Amino acid sequence: MNGAMMNEESLEALVVKQMAEAGWKQGIIVPALAVVDADRQVRVSIARGYGLDVQQLTTFLQETQPAVAEAVGLGEGWATETPARTKFLAKLQGEITKNGVVQVLRRGFGHGAVPHINFYYPIPTRGNTLAEALHAANRWVVVRQVHYSSVDAGKSLDLVAFVNGLPIATFELKNYITKQTVADAVAQYQVDRNPKELLFQPGRCLVHFAVDDKRVKFCAELAGPKSWFLPFDKGYQDGAGNPPNPDGVMTDYLWREILAPPSLADIIENYVQVTTTKDTKTGRKSQKRIFPRYHQLDVVRRLLADVEANGAGRRYLIQHSAGSGKSNSIAWLAHQLIEAKHNGANAVDSVLVVTDRRLLDGQIKETIKSFTQVGSTVAHAEHSSDLKNAIEAGKRIIITTVQKFPYIVASLGAEHRARKFAVIIDEAHSSQTGKAAAALSGSLSTEGAQGDEESAEEMLVRMVEQKKLPANASYFAFTATPKNKTLELFGEPVPGALGKRPFHSYTMKQAIQEGFILDVLQGYVPIESYYKLVKTVEDEPEFDASRASKKLRAYVEGHETAIRKKAEIMADHFHTQVIGKHKIGGRGRAMVVTKTIARAIDYYEAIRDYLVERGSPYKAIVAFSDFERDGRKVTEADYNGFPGKEIPDRIQQDPYRILVVADKYQTGYDQALLHTMYVDKPLSSVLAVQTLSRLNRAWPGKTDTAVLDFANTADEIRAAFEPYYRTTVLAGETDPDKLHDLQGALARAGVYSDEHVDRFIALFLDESVDRSQLDPILDHCAAEYMEQMDEDEQIEFKGQAKAFVRTYSFLSLVLPFSNIEWEKLSIFLGLLIPKLPAPEETDLSAGILDTIDLDSYRIEKREEVSIALAEAEGELQPVPAGGGGRRVEPELERISEILDQFNDLFGNIDWDDEDRIRERITSEIPEKVLVDQDYANARANNDADNAKLAMTAALAKVMQGMLRDETQLFKQFVDNPDFKTWLTDAVFRSTYGKDAT
């Protein structure tokens, strides 16, 4: 085989050949004006000082706007320098420099006596023959080996793509076979391409591609060594890279598909953007150039294609990793949905963007306005009347927060029910899986229009149907961490199996492997605390052991001694490991995550004081919602000295470097300068992923992150992250038969009868009836509950009633059928439950804190670990539909016995670290067993014997997970039958309750 067939030049030739097949013309640069015009070849003449192809621009203007061409000096004899020609090219040069080539292509401009010049004709609407002809006149030209430099004539680019003579993309090609990769192409742009050269100046091109035969990267704005290249790969097996291509090189999708003229025209018109931001402090404006990444382009195009094919009424779940650019994807989708067609008509009339991230509310609003180029199409709904007013005013895109949404949808009148809506939900897991979804769906539905005569049964049917997702609304749910309810409500059926999966995914695994986000689990350091408590009273009072243990732990961790020691660790670590190691170019910030607002304030004060003591030049900020402390309402401004709304800006400015939070800013907050997180709050499941993911945003110079965790273990964090590392799949579907079981169990309890339910619902639906006729029915049933049931039966009944209402509320959204009896019972129980008093519970741990004191406290920093996640798809179990509750009887133990569990447990064994083993056995192992899903289900639905079997299996998994870190403890569990039996019984007693055997 000829080796030249596999070199870089051969790849370059292949790219141009296949681009020509996709609709491009191949340009050949020639110094003379002789025509070189084969079928797919045209001559190119790049004008020095202007950085564009005057020949192609002239041809375009002469073919589409001949009078304009003459007026600007590009008519007959265009190659000759004339004052008109020079003046026009200088104007064009200035417009590109000022506004960027994308704005010139989209909007054109006027010049002299010419009111408007078009430099590009957009994709035509179907059937517009004139627009089709003009669009076909656009000249797409790709040129090899373009000598671009005005300083060094020998320097050239592998490829440059032009539209109507204006350069829009450059390419550096490399070849694995000749031992050059995309990394070499990136380095070439960063080191060898002077960003001051005309072609590389901001806005002169849309994009710069670094390409080899396996990978693609791009940069929207070159800045020398600081040029930031992002991946543009399809992804492979939920990770980085591209799949093998049986029909060519792995990366040919770039030039065959993405850059084919129809696709590139769509990108020019609907995706590429220059956004302007203003520094509120200095007033200076800065521009950011945006080019879509592959997954963003792919998801928006797939969604639009599905809407255009199927119309409104479908549901879509988009699982895109945190930090993957969901805001831009949402904005691109929103502004293109308003133009989408289905069967020749608008697919949707209005697009509602619902976000539960307050910080992103304004960002999404501004992004959509920027991308649509028509701000008048966008409205922001702040109050209940705004949504109705926006629709009546012809606004096509309406943005609101989920907190305001239930009030806003109530203002929709019946006249809007015939409209078609698209509802885009940002971070769907916490927005639309409960009553808010039902309220939203009912407000938009066309299925519930009332006639003049409506029977009670018809009204019930309407209420059921309103809870289903209506046929006139499509839902687009974006989230990085879908819960089981979200998957069941919005997911796609898994072919050949029960369960659901996302419509589109861009996984955490792919984002990490591509370097678009950082892996926050690679610098994870668990911090363990050990303490000794002493009894301060003479007698031996008895307390509920389980509650007492929790109170003792909270007492210790909130003690001023513990807060101070942990604050010192945090501040010292920040100075030595973040500042001292010049993280993010010396700009690194840290976040402290605390359990409560009171704890956040305590930490802030401790860190503030210690920073002063150690002579630090930096300061901390505390963030929380308004709070009452020592009988006085306090705000963030009382501690920080400036309004809370300024916190996101202030933390980016020195001297502020450490942000202490309690819930606020823990999710939905994007700050790329965050490098380190100090966690003193139990985290699990979605909250753990969202919280630690505050650190994952990539930034030039940011190569790693760090987490110091005072409240969780590596195993717990791994368990939280694993379902969301790859595509998350629902393993089954919620079983509606569980509702039949609950309905039967509730009926057998004898608290109410069918007649009670029917009579109550008939009165409830009669608008002429007031509550004086409703309360007696509920009060009668509540009296039966109190008089005929003992406390255990009351707990079980109330738990089953709550489970029925909760499960039906969810299932009514997804079931393909309606059940009037369930709807009636759900309404009835929803109003009965508040009437059912809970059995009085005495806190048998009350007063324990008055009997003890903290004798000693120490903190041990464990080794930094890199938490590895499983490669399998994440799997969630469907929503459990079981119900029923039971009283957990307190275990009364003497105070000295409880302290023994903390201080003297297993003293007869020569442990390597007795304090740490004591903490494992008394706290960590039971806590891990409690979160095991199988054991949780068994506790709720099985007897003690079966529950213990599930607990034993859960304990075995927990102990297996301790094999590496706690080898001695694991060996005792495996090799010492007496110890294993004791530990099994002890953990079961502490986690199950009075019936434990």
- Least confident interval from 162-166, 183-187, 426-430, 956-960: 426-430
Looking at residue 113, its amino acid is: A
Asked if residue 448 lies in contact with residue 465, where contact means CB atoms within 8 angstroms, the answer is yes
Which of the four pLDDT bands, split at 50, 70 and 90, describes residue 388? confident
CA distances from 878 to 726, 742, 748, 882, 950 (A): 18, 17, 27, 12, 19
Q: How confident is the model at residue 38 (pLDDT cuts 50, 70, 90)?
A: very low
Burial 379-410 (b: 16+ CB within 10 A, else e): bbbeeeebbbebbeeebbbbbbbbebbebbbe
Q: Where are the alpha helices (DSSP H) in 167-254?
A: 182-187, 253
User: Which distant-in-sequence residues (6+ apart) come within 8 Å of 470 by Cβ?
Assistant: 313, 441, 444, 445, 446, 447
- CA pair distance 814, 734, nearest whole angstrom: 10
Percentages helix, strand, coil for the chain (3-state, rounded to 5) are 45, 20, 35
* Residue 404 clears pLDDT 80, i.e. is over it: no
- Taking only the tens place, the pLDDT of each residue in 570-579 is 898 899 889 9
- Say how many CA atoms lie within 13 Å of 566 toward its Cβ: 32
* pTM summary value: 0.78
Q: Is the confidence at residue 139, as pLDDT, over 70?
A: yes
Three state DSSP letters for 630-696: CCEEECHHHHHCCCHHHHHHHCCCCCEEEEEECCCCCCCCCCCCEEEEEEECCCCHHHHHHHHHHHC
Average pLDDT rounded to a whole number, residues 848-862: 55
Give yes or no for residue 922 having a pLDDT over 80.
no
Give the side-chain half-sphere CA count within 13 A for 779: 6
Q: Read off the pLDDT band of 892 (50, 70, 90).
A: very low
Q: Are 591 and 677 in contact (CB under 8 A)?
A: yes
Residues 6+ apart with CB under 8 A from 687: 666, 667, 720
Residues 6+ apart with CB under 8 A from 810: 433, 434, 485, 488, 489, 734, 879
Query: Could you give the CA distance from residue 80 to residue 734 in angstroms, rounded to a whole number?
Result: 76
To the nearest whole number, what is the mean pLDDT of the chain?
80
Cβ atoms within 10 Å of 589's Cβ, excluding its own: 23
Task: Tell which wins on pLDDT, 45 or 193.
Answer: 193
157-182 pLDDT per residue, tens: 889 999 999 999 999 999 887 788 99
Protein fold of 292-448+455-506:
Rossmann fold (3.40.50)
Q: Which segment, 31-40, 88-97, 432-441, 878-887, is predicted with the most confidence on average?
A: 88-97
CA dist 412 and 444 (Å) reads 8
CA dihedral of residues 214, 217, 222, 227 (deg, nearest 10): -100
pLDDT at 944 over 50: yes
pLDDT over 60 (residue 255): yes
72-83 tens-digit pLDDT: 999 888 888 899
pLDDT (0 to 100) of residue 838: 74
DSSP string, 381-420: --STTHHHHHHHTT-SEEEEETTTHHHHHTT--GGGTTS-
Total count of residues recorded for the chain: 997
Q: What percent of the chain has pLDDT over 70?
A: 75
446: tokens are: 């066309």
Element (H, E) at 504: strand 504-506
Instruction: Answer yes or no: are the C-beta atoms of 248 and 214 closer than 8 Å.
Output: no
Confidence of residue 907 (pLDDT cuts 50, 70, 90): very low
- Domain edges within the chain: 3-270, 292-448+455-506, 737-835, 905-997
How does pLDDT run across 579-605, given as a tens digit for each residue? Answer: 999 999 999 999 999 988 999 999 999
At 433-492, the pLDDT tens digits run 455 556 656 666 655 444 445 555 556 555 555 666 666 778 898 888 888 778 888 888
Please tell me the distance from the alpha carbon of residue 321 to that of residue 340, in angstroms, as a whole number.
26
Top-confidence residue, 845 or 245: 245
> And the tokens for 668?
């939905």
The two tokens of residue 317 are 């779940």
